[in-house]
Amino acid sequence: MKKLSSVALLVTTLFSANLMAQQITDKTFIDDSSYALGVAMGKQLEDMVDSQKDVIQFDTSRILAGVEDSLQGKVSLSDQEVGERLQALTNRLAEIEQAKLEKAAIEAKQQGDEYRANYAKQKDVKQTASGLLYKIEKQGEGISAKPEDTVKVHYVGKLIDGTEFDSSVKRGQPVEFKLDQLIPGWVEGIQLIKKGGKIELVLPPELAYGDQATGNIPANSTLIFDIELLDVIPAKK
């Protein structure tokens, strides 16, 4: 599909140019080019239709009729009417998506509450006053990080169903962060271990991203982080 999208982009670029050249009259070339253009446009339409198939089943015969009428200059709708209908479609799809996100947020909160309640019962798990749950796998040695310090870490971030949404380990590259610029659960949790330490954090939503969906993380999600504190770079005084 990427290949066809590239072809469609190339065709669009060519047609947007003001080409002052001799008229092409080779029928075979014209026929082949016309068909290829139709295929490229059709694939783009197919992607648009497929992307919303769980919400709306478009009538492909009506789509083709609209394309044909437009090419023949006999569209039965004014530009304003076309715009109004497309805007109505956009609004309806947005409403459905918003309802979907709200439902996911409610489910994430309920499932997260249950997960944390069960996790808290596990051996060696502790809970802070803020609601942060943690299990220290290795305390480490040396200095602990302060909020103003920079930390070098390896980490894996997961949803409660085990889905990984981020991993410096998988990328093979540790990351440096200024600690006080991170989410509250990290700021608090990393200070519980020393350089070389490892900790598992379970963050309630209010210590993570709260009621805002972020990337593949639904709103109100409880998050799990496995963190190894590789180094602490003290802030300059």
Q: Which domain holds residue 46?
A: 2-76
**Active site includes 15?**
no
Split at pLDDT 50, 70, 90, the class of 1 is very low
From 136, 177, 183, 231, the catalytic residue:
183
CATH number of 143's domain: 3.10.50.40
Tell me, yes or no, whether 67 and 169 share the same domain: no
**Active site includes 233?**
no
Work out the percent of the chain whose per-residue pLDDT is above 90: 80
Q: Would you say residue 91 lies in a domain? A: no
> Domain boundary at 57, 76, 95, which?
76
So what's the pLDDT on residue 8? 55
**Mean of pLDDT values over 51-75:** 91
For the stretch 2-28, pLDDT in tens is 455 565 566 566 666 555 567 888 999
3-state secondary structure the chain: CHHHHHHHHHHHHHHHCCCCCCCCCCHHHHHHHHHHHHHHHHHHHHHHHHHCCCCCCCCHHHHHHHHHHHHHCCCCCCHHHHHHHHHHHHHHHHHHHHHHHHHHHHHHHHHHHHHHHHHCCCCCCEECCCCCEEEEEECCCCCECCCCCEEEEEEEEEECCCCEEEEHHHHCCCEEEEHHHCCHHHHHHHCCCECCCEEEEEECHHHCCCCCCECCECCCCCEEEEEEEEEEECCCC
From 119, 155, 193, 227, the catalytic residue:
155
Is residue 88's pLDDT more than 70? yes
For the stretch 172-219, pLDDT in tens is 999 999 999 999 999 999 999 999 999 999 999 999 999 998 888 999
Is residue 138's pLDDT more than 90? yes
**Active site includes 119?**
no
Which pTM value belongs to this model? 0.71
From 149, 224, 225, 227, the catalytic residue:
225
> Domain boundary at 76, 106, 130, which?
76
**Active site includes 209?**
yes
